[in-house]
Amino acid sequence: MPFGVKPDGRGKKVDFDAVYADLLAPAIREAGLEPLRADQELVGGIIHKPMYERLILADYAIADLTTVNANVFYELGVRHAVRPYATVLVSADVKRVPFDLAPDRVLPYALDANGRPANAADDREILAKALRATRAATTDSPVFQLLADLPRPEIDRLKTDTFREEAAYSTKAKQRLTAAQSNGPDALREVEADLGDLEDVEAGVLVHLLLAYRATKAWDDMVRLAESMSDPIRRTLLVREQYGFALNRAGRSKDAERELQEILDEHNVSSETLGLLGRVYKDRWEAERGESILKAQGHLDQAIDAYRRGFEADWRDAYPGINAVTLMEIRMPGGDEQKDLVPVVRYANRRRLVGGAPDYWDHATRLELGVIARDRTEAMAGATAALAAVRESWEPDSTAYNLSLIRQSRAERDEAIDWADEIERALADAAGQA
């Protein structure tokens, strides 16, 4: 929307600051949302990247078409091109709306002689109702209405700069974060302090910082950073998943479970989210093992179920699959469920190994499958490749932990495999050196 007092093109003026303060912002809050006005992110009148990020990432958007402002229409075009729904149009004079945006799509509001809202209470109620109605995700973008076959983008996948490997953000910031990461959390906190107001920091930089804290196991810093991000970035799937991950590692299991369950309730079932939820239950099982056998068994079953559902959500992602298989090895080795799942996980893992650029987790999956199958050749091949692909210390630490669980379970059955113990020690050493 415009800001300040602007002419409406018919000899009158509109006080858009009053429209925002008295009408739009209160209506947004009545709908249970938080208002963020686009012009609050302008620097010297220039639309910069954080503004575009919020324009695309925000769950809901309102465009005020009163003055047929060119900037507003350009931003609305961007929004309609990437978001099929949850965009509401308002205007103080619907008669002047261009043909492409028919008047019946625009909510009118009344102005008094001073260009301020004349019936703010009534118009607030209408707008709040319209915002609540957009939760039904009915397509309101003309682009997606007219081009029915146009793919509907998954915004978190569309925004490639939320992934460090593909980020196209400030080279200087990226280099400084990478250097600071090797010096630990204190160095990262210094970089964060120098970034200034996080509202003006690019999403790619914030996500890099979040993952750098993860690499240094600074779980509380991850939680704090995620909670301080602006709401549109904070609500992206990637950040929410990492927030849940950090909450669990910080010892806030219940909060982690709540966050991850909310993601599952709001989004399509995700292998990543379910894998993280599986880890929450897995950690609870570990904590209860020496306290209550029944409670521990219940958490173990929950963990297996979450990992299995995660694998079923995306058969290409072997990570939750191998965790399900590993925990089955502890609960009931050689059981029918494990026998059914192992070949599928192995196939998914093979496709990753030969069909693309395998990462640490692909090789680690191969080695765990080898340990479970008591296949020394496979396990050693996976271990060799995994150790060469370590990026962050928590990766081999996590795999060594899984192998320790298998070792402990087998020890209870008077079984020991020396070469598996050797792999476990090598991974633990790598975790200490990474």
Q: How confident is the model at residue 270 (pLDDT cuts 50, 70, 90)?
A: confident
Q: What are φ and ψ of residue 84, in 5° steps?
A: -65, -25
Q: Where are the domains of the chain?
A: 5-153, 154-237
Residue 424 pLDDT > 60: yes
The single-letter code of the amino acid at 37 is R
Q: How confident is the model at residue 88 (pLDDT cuts 50, 70, 90)?
A: very high
User: What average pLDDT does this structure show over 345-374?
Assistant: 92
The whole-number pLDDT of residue 162 equals 39
Residue 328 pLDDT > 70: yes
| Phi/psi-derived region of residue 228, left when phi > 0, alpha when psi is between -120 and 50, beta in every other case | alpha
Kindly report the three-state secondary structure assignment for every residue of the chain: CCCCEEECCCCCEEEHHHHHHHHHHHHHHHCCCCCCCHHHHCECCECCHHHHHHHHHCCCEEEECCCCCHHHHHHHHHHHHHCCECEEEEECCHHHCCCCCCHHHEEECCECCCCCECCHHHHHHHHHHHHHHHHHCCECCHHHHHCCCCCCCCHHHHCHHHCHHHCCCCHHHHHHHHHHHCCCHHHHHHHHHHHCCHHHCCHHHHHHHHHHHHHCCCHHHHHHHHHHCCHHHHCCHHHHHHHHHHHHHCCCHHHHHHHHHHHHHHCCCCHHHHHHHHHHHHHHHHHHCCCCHHHHHHHHHHHHHHHHHHHHHCCCCHHHHHHHHHHHHHHCCCCHHHHHHHHHHHHHHHHHHHHCCCCHHHHHHHHHHHHHCCCHHHHHHHHHHHHHCCCCCHHHHHHHHHHHHHHHHHHCCCCCCHHHHHHHHHHHHHHHHC
Q: How confident is the model at residue 135 (pLDDT cuts 50, 70, 90)?
A: confident
User: What average pLDDT does this structure show over 93-114?
Assistant: 76
> Which range is least confidently modeled, 128-137, 371-380, 397-406?
128-137
- Strand-pair partners of 43: 46
The whole-number pLDDT of residue 380 equals 97
Q: How confident is the model at residue 6 (pLDDT cuts 50, 70, 90)?
A: confident
The whole-number pLDDT of residue 14 equals 92
CA 170 – CA 185 distance, rounded (Å): 21
Mean of per-residue pLDDT scores for the chain: 86
Q: How confident is the model at residue 406 (pLDDT cuts 50, 70, 90)?
A: very high
The single-letter code of the amino acid at 242 is Q
Residue 221 pLDDT > 80: yes
Q: What percentage of the chain reaches a pLDDT higher than 70?
A: 90
Residue 208 pLDDT > 70: yes
The single-letter code of the amino acid at 375 is D
Token representation of residue 352: 């990753």
Q: Are 424 and 403 in contact (CB under 8 A)?
A: yes
Token representation of residue 218: 């600074």
User: What average pLDDT does this structure show over 226-240?
Assistant: 86
Entry pTM? 0.67
Q: What are φ and ψ of residue 203, in 5° steps?
A: -60, -40
The whole-number pLDDT of residue 434 equals 61
Residue 136 pLDDT > 90: no
The whole-number pLDDT of residue 277 equals 96
CA 268 – CA 342 distance, rounded (Å): 25
pLDDT, tens digit, 9 for 90 and up, residues 25-59:
999 999 988 888 865 545 444 556 677 777 887 88
Residue 125 pLDDT > 80: yes
> Which range is least confidently modeled, 110-124, 186-200, 207-221?
186-200
| Phi/psi-derived region of residue 258, left when phi > 0, alpha when psi is between -120 and 50, beta in every other case | alpha
The whole-number pLDDT of residue 198 equals 81
Residue 210 pLDDT > 90: yes
Residue 160 pLDDT > 60: no
Q: Are 285 and 328 in contact (CB under 8 A)?
A: no
Lookup result for tokens 């009915």: 138
User: What average pLDDT does this structure show over 12-21?
Assistant: 93
The whole-number pLDDT of residue 59 equals 81
The whole-number pLDDT of residue 332 equals 86
